[in-house]
A and B are shown apart, each in its own frame.
Chain A
Amino acid sequence: MELLVSVALGVLTASGVYLILRPTTFSVVLGLTLLSYAVNVLIFFSGRLKATAPPLTVEGLSRQADPLPQALVLTAIVIGFGMTAYLLALALKGKAESGTDHVDAGEPR
């Protein structure tokens, strides 16, 4: 399972990075979203896979998951969402200003 998760994260990261390196703003947005998936899951799994119960302090629960990473991931998700929204607006702005959605606004490369 550990290997499975690691590879999954690797693939997410790789596709994210590849998309970020694409020349159009839209691909970059997609890439960053994929990358943020990878990042969130990574933080989440810094609590490992062994737990058997959600981090609730309710009677009868044992081996709860590590709550701290979960809290961090929540913050990360929210911030990531804000950033994505903003980047989208920026992409639109760039499109409106330059008429193209090339990240370098129509530079040769």
Chain B
Amino acid sequence: MSSTLLLLVLFAPFAGILAVAAAAHVSRAAGAWTAGAAMAAGLAGALAMAPDVFGGTIVLWRVAWLPEWGLDFALRLDGLGLLFTILILGIGVLIVLYAAYYLPKTDNLKRFYMELLGFAGGMLGIVLAENILLMVVFWEVTSLTSFLLIAYKYQEVDARISARMALAVTGGGGLALLAGALLLGSTAGSFDFSVIEARAADVRADPLYPVILVLFLLGAFTKSAQFPFHFWLPHAMAAPTPVSAYLHSATMVKAGVFLLARMYPILAGTDLWFVLVSSTGAITFVYAAYVALLKHDLKGLLAYSTVSHLGLITLLFGLNTPLAAVAAVFHIINHAIFKASLFMAAGIIDHETGTRDMRRMGGLFYSMPRTAVLGILAAGSMAGVPLLNGFLSKEMFFTAAVDYQGFDGAYLILPAVATLGGMLGVAYSVRFVWDVFFDGPSHAMPKTPHEPPRWMRLPVEVLVALVFVVGFLPQWSVGPLLTVAADAVLPGQVPEFKLAIWHGFNLPLAMTVIAFGLGVLQFTRRHKLYALQERFAWPLTSPVAFERVYRGAVRASTVVLNGLDSKSLQRNLVLFFTFVLVLGAYAWLRTGWFGEHDAFLTGSIPVTPVDWPSALAFATLLFGSVATVRYRRSRVSAVIFLSVAGIVVSLAFLRFNAPDLALTQLSVEVVTIVLLLMCLRYLPVSPEAVSSPRRRLRDGVIAAAAGVGVTAMVYAMLTRPYETISGYHLANAKPGGGGTNVVNVILVDFRGYDTLGEIVVLAMAALGLSALLAGTRMPAVPIRALDAAERYPIMLAELMRPMLPLSLAVAVYIFLRGHNLPGGGFIAGLVAAVALMLQYMAGGVDFASARLRLNYVALLGVGLGVATLTGVASFLYGYPFLTSTHGYVQPPVIDKFELASAMAFDLGVFLVVIGTVLLALTELAGLKRGEVAGPDVPPAEREA
């Protein structure tokens, strides 16, 4: 039962989100109550399980998410988890109450509480996760929600950028953590903490251990703002004070040190851990304390003191000694308590005085004594004044520092560092108290300060009360919790520690005294330091700097991409052809050259002798293609040379026993040329289109290489024998396909599916063409071109008209014989289309448009439909798509029917071809109409 309760604890805040979304519509207070209730409910649930935990059991709950990839929704509640749950939700409740008064009445808190609850839920997930990947999941949830919270006042540019900065740092750290978690999981062979803990020794022995450790530490240090990743935290103060009070006392930054605590039994205990963790902690501890002293902004001071205290905790974990670990856990508690109260006090002051600049405020002790007392006590705890909780953990820290027996000399450095940090801590605490509450009432503050509403002060009072209770009766108040939490960090090896106020006269006490003495002294001489501050502003840490870096990255990548010139088609083509050539060469060298067998280009077939016609054709082809290149600018001649090449190609087909191809190639040739010539009128030579000699040389080289490559491959192919499946087609064309023209049988039967696709392409080409040109107006056309275009049809006119029926008859003939002799639907369609096209050319636009009033788009549809339905028809006989009905119907109709089936499909082809060609032509004709001024058919009508 209790384990499912664990799930409820975790989901209390998330459920709260929805509840708030609903309740906030009712009233501002309702939203607040709901949020508070959600947190309280979670807390209650956790406390209900507390007995089990104190009893030493670890509450587990698990449901599979993606187990085979290590991702499992597994939760655990141990001492550490319980401690943090109490901090997160307990302080969370206080924050909810506080925010209701702090935030302006105009704000109905809906968004605030939803984001806050989301964040709290994320934190809970981190501390309750049993599966490390699940922990990473919630880790990033906190990164995201804190991003939203910091940007709560998004109207201020600072808030926006600071939020992105925090996301960059903590989210980035989270990614490092993810990598670490995955590595750790694969090293330990499991993603469950309990299992990994059992295999901790192997993990620490693994060669990957340093990598894992560093990745985890990156995650921890970024989250808990350790030097040099600390800079995001002070700027996160752009968030409203309740957010700061929450994120920087009990939660966000504590996630980092929680990770250290969680990983302590697995990763700690090595020299590397000691060096990295303790040194980072020490530097942060001192450096941040020093900076805190220089801050005039109230929240700035608190922010840096937070960083400093986190450094202290980190340092303690880094020492690898049990007592230090206990001290660390203890200080986590104490810091959470007094820092939360301090932030809230600061918030009250800010709220009541209208400023956060300590140079502008003072003497508040007289105007708001209660708040002042609370603030002074909390600050005292921060400084480590006896009888307050801060004193105890700091004392333990000093003790641990003194007792440390690690590296040679380290035991000398540590106490010094500790004292120095303690001294600075005292200094900024004193400054906080003095500048704010005393130091004369003479300052001019935006508002005249007075006590806040008592409910706004209540959370502070509660926390300060705790400061006292823990300070006076540590063993009684936090002793058990601390013990059980420490037991999670140091499983089974918690040292004997005595939470007492008085340890007698010893070195730590002396250090405390020194720290206080020097601290006060330092405080009196602080003004000298302020002067330095301006010069020692950390250069890389302001939002401005972050934005500058980001913009820099943007600019850099823009430059790179522009350098690659990725927009230009020509560049992309060059890259493409080069890539093909390089890859081909690579394949040849790899397999052929350096492969174990030496490969040859020439195969085993004896070459056939060259005959004269072929040689002549070859010469013509060379001439045609080269001339096309040479005269590409004088375009009409280029087209003519092109057609020369094309005709040679069709002759080649004829010469090598492919009459169908020859016919098709020829008719396609004609249509293509006509289309080219028609478009030519709109594409005059443009002067700027002459590329530089270097470019032409480069392209020439690429082209030549491509030519050589093709030559080589084709030669290799032609001189090799091969084994083909096409014998089957020759054998089955007549019996299976009912035709003697194997090519045609393949087209309409064996590979009819290809043909279907082919006419779809054809239809789409026409469709796309008409969609493109619909409503396009070409710029005015040079007169000469027009003449050229108009003159030659005239002579054709008389000649062509009688030929129309004739050529149509030819088309039908070709269509009919196709299945057994060269021909077929496609060629027939082209012949018919050519005939009609010649009519158009002869008669001109008006003649054509007078006769060609069909809806070609619909014609395309009909053609495709006929072909498709022929294919579907075979479903009726229970045969697959496009099965020719040959032999599936009883005699005597069989012969006719079989013919009909193939024909129906071919008819579809025929129609599509005609539709395509004529649609293309009329669209181009329409273009011509389009550019003539005067009465004109609007594109819309023409399209229909």
Q: A-side interface residues toward B, CB under 8 Å?
A: 1-27, 29-30, 33-34, 37-38, 40-42, 44-58, 64-68, 70-71, 73-75, 77-86, 88-93, 95-96, 99-104, 106-107, 109
Contacts and interface: CB of A to CB of B under 8 A. Distances in A.
Contact of B628 (A19, A82, A101): A19
B688 A106 contact: yes
B741 interface: yes
A14 B740 CA distance: 38
B699 interface: yes
B570 interface: yes
A78 B668 contact: yes
Interface string B112-138: 000000000000000000000000000
Contacts of A66: 724, 726
Given A30-B642, A34-B642, A109-B568, A78 B758 contact: yes
A58 B740 contact: yes
| Chain A binding surface SS class | helix
Contacts of B695: 109
B779 A95 contact: yes
User: Which of B639, B682, B706, B707 gathers the greatest number of chain A CB atoms within 10 Å?
Assistant: B707
B772 A89 contact: yes
A74 to B, nearest CB: 6
B583 interface: no
A9 B714 CA distance: 8
A86 B768 contact: yes
A5 B649 CA distance: 11
A15 to B, nearest CB: 4
Given A21-B570, A57-B740, A68-B729, A37 B649 contact: yes
Given A57-B733, A102-B686, A45 B658 contact: no
Contacts of A50: 605, 608
Contacts of B679: 88, 91-92
Contact of B610 (A4, A13, A92): A4
A11 B621 contact: yes
Interface in B746-772: 746-747, 750-751, 754-755, 758-759, 761-762, 764-766, 768-769, 772
B573 interface: yes
Contacts of B632: 19, 22, 26-27, 30
A103 B570 contact: yes
A77 B668 contact: yes
A100 to B, nearest CB: 5
B710 A74 contact: no
A81 B691 CA distance: 28
A102 B689 CA distance: 6
Contacts of B668: 77-78, 80-81
A49 B642 contact: no
Contacts of B664: 74, 77-78
Nearest to A71: B746
A45 B642 contact: no
Contact of B645 (A12, A23, A44, A96): A12
A4 B695 CA distance: 30
Interface string B689-727: 111000100011011101111111011011100101110
A71 B753 CA distance: 12
Contacts of B57: none
Interface string B623-666: 00110110010010011001001100100110011111100110
Contact of A92 (B671, B699, B704, B927): B927
B649 A41 contact: yes
B570 A71 contact: no
Contacts of B741: 55-56
20 contacts: A5-B714, A15-B626, A21-B573, A25-B683, A29-B676, A33-B646, A34-B628, A40-B665, A48-B722, A57-B733, A57-B734, A65-B658, A70-B746, A75-B754, A78-B759, A79-B762, A81-B765, A92-B682, A92-B773, A100-B688
Contacts of A45: 656, 714, 717-718
Contact of B657 (A7, A33, A65, A73): A65
Interface in B304-326: none
B686 A24 contact: yes
Contact of B726 (A20, A68, A83, A86): A68
A92 to B, nearest CB: 5
B822 interface: yes
Given A11-B625, A75-B758, A89-B773, 16 more contacts: A3-B715, A10-B711, A12-B621, A13-B703, A18-B703, A23-B689, A33-B646, A49-B608, A65-B656, A95-B683, A99-B779, A102-B689, A106-B688, A109-B565, A109-B571, A109-B695
A64 B657 CA distance: 8
Nearest to A14: B707
A26 B656 contact: no
B710 A38 contact: yes
B729 A37 contact: no
A19 to B, nearest CB: 6
Contacts of A71: 743, 746-747, 750-751, 754
A87 to B, nearest CB: 9
Contacts of A78: 664, 668, 758-759, 761-762, 826
B882 interface: no
Lowest 9 CB-CB distances: which A-B pairs, in order? A14-B707, A10-B711, A82-B765, A18-B703, A71-B746, A10-B707, A67-B742, A6-B715, A89-B769
A81 B671 contact: yes
Contacts of B568: 104, 107, 109
Contacts of A46: 717
Nearest to A78: B758
B26 interface: no
B618 interface: yes
B788 to A, nearest CB: 16
Contact of B920 (A15, A53, A85): A85
Nearest to B923: A89
B740 A37 contact: no
B642 A33 contact: yes
Contacts of A109: 565, 568, 570-571, 691, 695
B27 interface: no
Contact of B656 (A12, A40, A44, A82): A44
User: Which of A45, A70, A80, A93 gathers the greatest number of chain B CB atoms within 10 Å?
Assistant: A70
A77 B628 CA distance: 20
A107 to B, nearest CB: 6
A64 B659 CA distance: 12
A92 B657 contact: no
B98 to A, nearest CB: 61
A13 to B, nearest CB: 4
Given A42-B714, A44-B656, A34 B607 contact: no
Contacts of A16: 625, 703
Given A17-B577, A92-B682, A54 B658 contact: yes
B683 A40 contact: no
Contacts of A91: 679, 683
B606 to A, nearest CB: 10
B589 interface: no
Contact of A51 (B656, B671, B675, B754): B656
B621 A49 contact: no
Contacts of B625: 11-12, 15-16, 34
Given A51-B657, A68-B724, A85-B920, A57 B743 contact: no
B942 interface: no
A61 to B, nearest CB: 10
Given A41-B649, A56-B740, A70-B743, A3 B607 contact: yes
A99 to B, nearest CB: 6
